[in-house]
Homo-oligomer: A and B are copies of this chain.
Amino acid sequence: MDRAYKEVQQITLAVDCIIFGFNNNQLEVLLIHRGFEPEKERWSLMGGFVGNREDLDAAAHRILHDLSGLEDVYMEQVRTFGKADRDPYERVVSTTYSALILKERYKAELIAQYRARWFSIDDLPNLIFDHKQMIVSALNRLRRRVRTVPIVFNLLPKKFTLPQLQKLYEGILGEELDKRNFRKKLNTMDFLVKLDEKDMSGSRKGAYYYQFDEKKYDRDTNFNI
Contacts and interface: CB of A to CB of B under 8 A. Distances in A.
A80 B80 CA distance: 7
Contacts of A2: 90
A10 B11 CA distance: 5
A13 B90 contact: no
A52 B90 contact: no
Contact of A12 (B10, B56, B95): B10
A46 to B, nearest CB: 16
Contacts of A202: none
A184 interface: no
Interface in A3-26: 3-5, 8-13
A3 B9 CA distance: 14
Size band of the interface chain A makes with B: 35 or more
Nearest to A96: B80
Interface centre among A3, A57, A89, A93, by most B CB within 10 Å?
Answer: A93
B77 A80 contact: yes
Given A13-B93, A93-B13, A80 B56 contact: yes
Contacts of A12: 3, 5, 8, 10-11
A19 to B, nearest CB: 19
29 contacts: A2-B90, A3-B12, A3-B90, A4-B87, A4-B89, A4-B90, A5-B89, A9-B49, A9-B50, A9-B51, A10-B11, A11-B11, A11-B12, A11-B52, A13-B13, A50-B82, A52-B91, A53-B91, A55-B82, A55-B83, A55-B84, A56-B80, A56-B81, A56-B82, A57-B82, A57-B83, A59-B82, A79-B79, A80-B80
Given A11-B11, A55-B84, A57-B82, 10 more contacts: A5-B49, A9-B51, A9-B52, A10-B13, A10-B52, A11-B52, A50-B82, A53-B91, A56-B83, A80-B95
Interface of A: 1-5, 8-13, 38, 49-59, 77, 79-84, 87, 89-93, 95
